[in-house]
Structure 1
């Protein structure tokens, strides 16, 4: 690597105009080529290693290096990401600090688009696609929750959809404001959020989060419920509210209308979403693993259209899509619904949806068995650092090819 004799903020090649990092070798390891995103914390750059491997660099803004809280959050994000290896979590290669005190996180360079951008373009998604994306997010969160990590900022902008070999691969990104459970394996002993302080994006916050209460796994489940609601209907549950105060009042006093009022979806899926959006955390799904299993049963019950077939079986679905019937059948009245309830079609009256699925029978995850129940990887081997899972399992074919590189700021 050549070095310029001209002074600059970093050792390396001549800085680019307007940004002292452009064209430099960060930490003498990564050549910064382009700034692809900016935010209050700093910026994300497209970079490459000496052997030409492309990657994304998240760099803390130099003016924030004097803020102990911001530095601690950035370091916590890096430390957390290095412990997460689920195929649906953005991959982190390195975390470091230059001799000049610049903090950075080196991650995989994403080339698809955020779910936010996709919803901006398409407004809403087929329910099968929405369920597939939600199950992928569950896979990422399951590993994080098992390590004591609560994301706290789950929203469409932090869910990325990649095109990998003709299939879609969902990636959860931006673990910048995670909550680490005390006593967990990666607990750093620091309390970065004071009691009563609201942190996150209020449009997707749970009731307990918006009042500054304790965030646990159920808080992420609520946020995922809001995202799922938006994917299904094209709007958030309380979309007309534009202020944190108004949102807080609504979350604490109102029940959103079921998504089936706004979109044609299976009754079982309607109840799943409303259970995720329960005001009390203990009335939501007890874990993202159970949520993923329940969503999987909705998909497994109705393999009819081309998209449903590819959502459950991306390889077989593509080969046999023409043989699949396009007719949308309603669930049979007998035998119970795939959300774990015993009722037939239709939305449960308010309050009844708070029941937990009946125990007994079936697999340890609470399912009744059969293919397509859990995303591959949510199993007893979840905590293994590296897996042999197929990251494309459980997603619809034909992802968008519009390029939007890098992680969210």
Structure 2
């Protein structure tokens, strides 16, 4: 019900009808069933001869928030956030409180809460006047529905992206994006999302003392970027990570990371990827999963580099978007669905080809060494031993490679796509070169020379293997150089 952030219930309530006091977690009076109100010195008073305080909406660690009515235009409602009295004489706290108003007021967007003014009460406590929002927090809506349809979640997150894109243009980094700081207004089937609470935002290129310093950790652990968790300097890409976390929560109904305390959560943020969204909810499209995982990449350089880029990637999955503008997902995201099966097919084929090529080369060298080019130069027992030795030799590397991929890569669609991009082209090039060279040999022997008797010549096996493996290596080096 407020445009100024997420708040927990204030301590101490009373029944306006009978005057009985109750604990903060009571909602109605057990005696008469009346709605309980929070005891407060400002309720019923008028601030600045203009704003009549009607009731307390909620309370946080820094301030209490009220619903206020305009004294001369009773139909107009406002949210007023007043700093706690014990904090009003802390310069850094006051500066951070006012920074929230400055940051929000500088961003002109239908998806950011409007801030109208800042002032001080008679006893010197700063307060912020903002628009009064009717609806519900995104976190409350998520708790009510459990998880959201892909189209609904994408539509809400795109609105958040648009708001933060404008904030980033102004040099404002929110640093505490989470479902509690997004408010849904209007029709809940097609709501308007508003970004709230710029209380710990970071504003670039402003004069004055810094409100935070390197090593200070601020924000909500479950949605905090790794660099923020380490207390490092952050930029707008920390918000991109957090928005990816919000989309993860909306789609799966679960937070990306959770634990018993903040320290255990931060450890997970720094050392683990969240569980694959499709493992929690199989009907999530893999391209959408890839978008979430790219936004939440551990390294800022591997994420989307702007909110506009993230918003554009999501556009094809927004059912309300113009169909002509979103007829196809970006090519990189289309690969998400094919990456795993292609990787299995090509990598499996490559391993079989590699093992077969090594076996053929060993047999060819043995035939040349014995000065016998016939197939019978190597006995079946020797061939069986060669096959077993080669398979045993490559079994270890293959096993540990597969184990590494399964543990560190396979559950992340973006990492799987990156691995596919590195592995598939060289293997495909090597296989293609080997196949082409084999056909060329058969053409030369059978058509040009007119004899097929030399097709079993062991030198061909060595040369064909060298061609295939050589092309594979060249393709790999070229690919790595272009990365």
The residue aligned with 2:61 is 40
Structure 2 residues not aligned, in runs of 5+ = 1-36, 341-409, 422-483
The residue aligned with 2:391 is none
* 1:252 and 2:261 aligned: no
* Distance in 2, Cα, partners of 1:219 & 1:165: 28
SS at match of 1:71: helix
Distance 1:31 1:55, change over 3 A: same
> Where do residues 9-408 of structure 1 align in structure 2 (5 Å cutoff)?
18-50=39-71, 51-52=73-74, 53-163=76-186, 167-181=190-204, 183=205, 187-239=206-258, 241-263=259-281, 264-299=283-318, 308=319, 311-312=320-321, 337-338=329-330, 340-341=332-333, 343=335, 345-346=337-338, 349=410, 350=412, 351-353=415-417
- Map Cα deviations across residues 90-119 of structure 1 (whole Å, 9 max, x no partner): 111111123431211111111100011011
Distance 1:41 1:354, change over 3 A: farther
Contact 2:150–2:317 (Cα < 8 Å) also in 1: no
Q: How much has 1:54 moved relative to structure 2?
A: 0.7
- Return the index of the structure with the highest Cα Rg: 2
Contact 2:38–2:56 (Cα < 8 Å) also in 1: no
Contact 1:275–1:354 (Cα < 8 Å) also in 2: no
RMSD of aligned Cα (Å): 2.5
* Distance in 2, Cα, partners of 1:196 & 1:354: 32
* Distance in 2, Cα, partners of 1:339 & 1:171: 31
Contact 1:79–1:95 (Cα < 8 Å) also in 2: no
- Map Cα deviations across residues 118-161 of structure 1 (whole Å, 9 max, x no partner): 11111100011110011000011001000110101111111111
- TM-score normalised over the length of structure 1: 0.70
* Distance in 2, Cα, partners of 1:266 & 1:213: 34
* Distance in 1, Cα, partners of 2:261 & 2:336: 38
Distance 1:164 1:84, change over 3 A: farther
SS at match of 1:226: helix
The residue aligned with 1:389 is none
The residue aligned with 2:452 is none
- Map Cα deviations across residues 222-243 of structure 1 (whole Å, 9 max, x no partner): 111111001001102223x222
- Map Cα deviations across residues 192-212 of structure 1 (whole Å, 9 max, x no partner): 112111101111111111111
Higher relative contact order (CA 8 A, sep 6+): 1
Task: Flag the structure with higher helix content.
Answer: 2
* Distance in 2, Cα, partners of 1:226 & 1:144: 19
Distance 1:209 1:282, change over 3 A: same
User: What is the count of residue pairs matched by the alignment?
Assistant: 307
Q: How much has 1:313 moved relative to structure 2?
A: 6.3
* Distance in 1, Cα, partners of 2:338 & 2:155: 22
